[in-house]
Amino acid sequence: MKKLLAACIALQAMNPVGLAEADDSWGDVLSRAVKEGKASLDFRYRFEWVDEDGFDDEAEASLMRSRLTLESGKLHGFTGLIEADNVTSIGANDYNSTENGKTEYTVVADPEGTEINQIWLKYSGDGFSGTGGRQRINHGNQRFVGGVAWRQNEQTFDGGRIQWDPLDQLKLDFSYIYNINRIFGPDDGVNPADLEGDNFFVRADYQLAENHKLSGFGYFLDIDDQGRYAAGKTVNNSSDTYGIAYAGEFDWLALNASFATQSEAGDSELDYDADYYMVELAAKFKSVTIKAGYEVLASDNGVGFATPLATLHIFQGWADLFLTTPGDGIEDAYVSVEGKLGPVKLAAIYHDFQAESSSTDFGTELDLVASWPVNKQFTVQAKYAAFDTDDSVRFADTDKAWVTLQLKL
């Protein structure tokens, strides 16, 4: 918390007039902050069911996440926010949260508990903003840095972030992060709830033309060792990653492509140089969108390209079999169809997974989802994933289903 306070004080110093003008008393300032601020509540109930080969019992998790967010009004360029989350079991509790000790069940990575999800102070004005504190950071499509909002306990970042638009077409984004609050928190379990270290995120987005954007990024992770955990859970997540991405639309056709290269960094015990590349085409036909993509996380010296801070659930299948890249890498060829049936949004995705540096066939997966935004406040979603493999030594046939009810006030 000392570092959080230091980051907030540094941001305050950016404003030459301070938080209160000469003709404003602190009482006036606080009164306006409250009157111009806003409060919100978010309740998300989810039932998750998992049937995984190798476990005699099916996992069932019935959990409610309750979130309270308080944000101040803007005063002389400054805003502040505090957000608290509570995750509580309100029904079936037969699952391994990674910290509850129920290892007879497969993992549903949603531990119970209460924590401060965000607490920050921000200064913004004239194309510039600086944020200090615990905050949500989502870069691009979240392939490298994201909040993992799918899980009940969101991933947030402690540190400072500067965003600057020096040109209308150019956006610059720089972050220094000294602690990562992971989905396995708020308390340590089989996995650490926090990853401490000196981490830098750098990103630049340039608008080439309308509907055409080029992005460059660098992620420099130096994770501290935590003695009670194996190096693979902490220090071996240290890496340097450089990359470039393009997103463009041509009338009815859209193209997304990216490339990155990665090597070990900091005190990592690994020794590798691996690449990442992805290309995706999307065609829109009235209310139906068809996508086809090919994503590769390569490997070197038995180490796969890693994205430990990504919102991983979005990628490589919702069954989450590849949250850690295999040592022989992975190739994911996929196709999806999205559309609407009345107010209900529907999507189906098919994945074919192969090893990148060997001849191994990892398996296939079918993902299905139906989302119904009943109104602006209430949403219902049903989701299903089925992973099938012939490589039972390394992977397990897995079926997962979710029902989610979300109310925002």
Q: Where are the domains of the chain?
A: 2-408
At 36, which helix (H) or strand (E)?
Answer: none
Provide mean pLDDT across the span 364-381: 97
The answer to whether residues 297 and 356 touch, using CB atoms and an 8 Å cutoff, is: yes
* Residue 149, pLDDT score: 96
Phi-psi region of 342 (alpha: psi -120 to 50; beta: other; left: phi over 0): left
Encoded amino acid at 244, one letter:
I
Average pLDDT value for the chain? 92
- β-bridge partners, 296: 277, 331
Confidence band (pLDDT; 50, 70, 90) for 2? low
As a whole number of angstroms, the distance between CA 107 and CA 324 comes to: 14
* Residue 9, pLDDT score: 45
Confidence band (pLDDT; 50, 70, 90) for 368? very high
Residue-wise pLDDT for 24-65, tens only, equals 666 666 677 677 789 999 999 999 999 999 999 999 999 999
* Residue 19, pLDDT score: 44
Q: How far is CA 215 from CA 87, 158, 176, 210, 246, in A?
A: 36, 24, 19, 14, 6
Dig out the tokens for 218 from the structure: 């660098």
* Residue 6, pLDDT score: 53
Confidence band (pLDDT; 50, 70, 90) for 284? very high
In the block, tokens 């002389």 appear at 76
Residue-wise pLDDT for 147-186, tens only, equals 999 999 999 999 999 999 999 999 999 999 999 999 998 8
The answer to whether residues 108 and 50 touch, using CB atoms and an 8 Å cutoff, is: yes
Residue 263 φ then ψ, to 5°? -145, 165
Closest CA to 207 of 164, 169, 256: 169
As a whole number of angstroms, the distance between CA 10 and CA 133 comes to: 11
Write down the architecture of domain 2-408 according to CATH: Beta Barrel (2.40)
As a whole number of angstroms, the distance between CA 184 and CA 97 comes to: 8
Dig out the tokens for 409 from the structure: 């006030």
Higher model confidence: residue 8 or residue 198? 198
Phi-psi region of 394 (alpha: psi -120 to 50; beta: other; left: phi over 0): alpha
Residue-wise pLDDT for 212-271, tens only, equals 999 999 999 999 999 899 999 999 999 999 999 999 999 999 999 999 999 999 999 999
In the block, tokens 């492509």 appear at 257
As a whole number of angstroms, the distance between CA 356 and CA 322 comes to: 13
Residue-wise pLDDT for 82-136, tens only, equals 999 999 999 889 999 998 989 999 999 999 999 999 999 999 999 999 999 999 9
Using DSSP's 3-state secondary structure scheme, residue 339 falls into strand
As a whole number of angstroms, the distance between CA 361 and CA 389 comes to: 8
Taking 80 as the threshold, does the pLDDT of residue 15 lie above it?
Answer: no
Provide mean pLDDT across the span 8-25: 49
Higher model confidence: residue 216 or residue 393? 216
Taking 70 as the threshold, does the pLDDT of residue 21 lie above it?
Answer: no
As a whole number of angstroms, the distance between CA 304 and CA 259 comes to: 15
As a whole number of angstroms, the distance between CA 30 and CA 382 comes to: 44
Confidence band (pLDDT; 50, 70, 90) for 20? very low
Closest CA to 323 of 98, 132, 131: 98
Query: In the Cβ-directed half-sphere of 278, how many Cα atoms lie within 13 Å?
Result: 25
